[in-house]
Structure 1
Amino acid sequence: MSNSQFRHRWLPLWLAAPQLLLVVLFFYIPIWLAFQWSFTLERPFGGGSEFVGLQNYARVMSDPEFWLAAKRTLIFMLVGSSLAVIVPLILAIAADRRIHLAYPARNVLIWPKAIAGASIGVIFMYIFNPFVGIFAPLNTIWPGIWQPGLDGTDAFIMLIAAHVWGGIPFNFVILLAGLQAMPANLHHSAAMDGASAWRRIIDIQIPMLMPQIFLVFVLEFTESVVSAFSLVDTMTQGGPGGATKLLVYKIYIDGFQGFDLSGAATQSTILMVLVILLAAFQFLILEKKVKYDR
């Protein structure tokens, strides 16, 4: 028996069956139910449903709050995902260059991956507290300069900072692995030709690291839609004044607090389609500029 074959034909399927079952139960079935409910009027406490066609979509699309939440979500995805890739990239380049304390820093930077999103939200609520947090001295000097509980911009910045911090470990590991896989003779040759450290980073490391950068950006971009919920729920609850009510949190509020199951399912379907289109754009347009051969 070769290493690439199984003795029994159905053995691979049986080995994958538990994972496939979880994916079907908690991914495909909810997606199908959300898509089905978006065309019906669901009663909040059971008792049947009524087919209404595209009325739910017309109602949601005519709601200004939906468009505001979608705008905030898009901004969060663009800004948060970009910073969640740029910051680990800088840290990975620094660790790869073996600067002082680079080796212990590699272990420390992985620790946040073990912390749940809700716990991150609680931690950052304390860190960015205007009275006892890191910005408390600034409020003493300039009263009111940092008020995330009252100022929507401050609250949004706090939300993005927590998201970026939580995304550092995974992206850092992927990018550092890509950097360490690069041939060392390229750096030595460039250094002998007189290229500075910055030129070697820009002309050698970044172009050769594009496959890993593209991977972490796509994963971060799509994952940020879901990971934002735990941060919003523990940090701002959508406030102040709805400034941090992202679409995923609005869906939760409408469905589980407002009992608008049809409206929440419709918004979930629209959000899913939006994420699929953005991911398709990344693969069809951006991936063409990525070179996988070295």
Structure 2
Amino acid sequence: MLRVLGPQLSTRSTDNPVIFTLPNLGPFMSLRLPPSTSTRTTTRAAAATNTVTVPPAGLSKGDTGPKVKQLQDALVKLGYLTAKQVATGPGTFGAQTETAVKKFQADKKLPTTGYYGEQTQAALKKALSGTPTTPTTPTTPGTKPAVISAPSPNSDSRNGADIDTIVMHHTASNDGKADLSWMRNPKSGVSAHYMVDRDGKIYQLVGDDKRAWHAGKSELHGVPTDVNARSIGIEIVNDGSGKTPFTEAQYKALTELTSHLKEKYDVPMKNIVGHADVAVPKGRKNDPAPNFDWARLRKGIS
């Protein structure tokens, strides 16, 4: 406690710290007092409030609980949701939260599924830490090569899975027209996202956002998983014998297409594989073929 006898105490008030000036006690003297306990407590509380926890991946519309609230808090901090919006359903993954996730995914060049998966979680961590989530050059994925639309009914939902793999196949024939017709036939039960014909023309059968039926029972790097749900499938017109060469036009088109997909979906090089690498049991498939030049493709997309 400060006790002053004599002349009236005058003060100059500031928010922090508080300075008391006693003008008539000899030489000019000021006493600087530390901020009050309540001020320090408020400061610590504010700092704690600004701390946002990034929840684990695996959240989607309809989920509820504290993990959803953590996601909402992160989206509020980044400006994709408002506190008022969250107040209408804290901890509930509803339409507003899904829309916010999609906007965030679009900004980070991720598939706009609205599903909070591993890629979205990684991007959220980087965004909150202030680390850029996409390269500054180029700012958009490599140009997608020209494709010919040839829709196939053979697809279904990815169920929110992020795209992180590209699988190469051979069509088991050298007749692109027949191969295309087969993959568009509902009775075949097979499809791929793209087919690269002998002349280098690229056909798109299934949208990237859909799950094509190309990998069958599969694993990735020895771990059983639904490869179809997380991958883009590319069929290359070739009989797969190891004797029929892949054409120059095919390598050129395949390099352009794979480069675009790799950059757009941030696919690691190790996840650009052949059907032979993921098919279960091992040896069930030999795609894209023993004579496929992997070194050439990887050099072109690195």
TM-score range, shorter chain: under 0.3
Tell which structure's C-alpha radius of gyration is larger.
Answer: 2
Please give the TM-score of this superposition, normalised by the length of structure 1: 0.24
Higher relative contact order (CA 8 A, sep 6+): 1
Whose strand proportion is higher, 1 or 2?
A: 2
As a proportion of its length, which structure holds more helix? 1
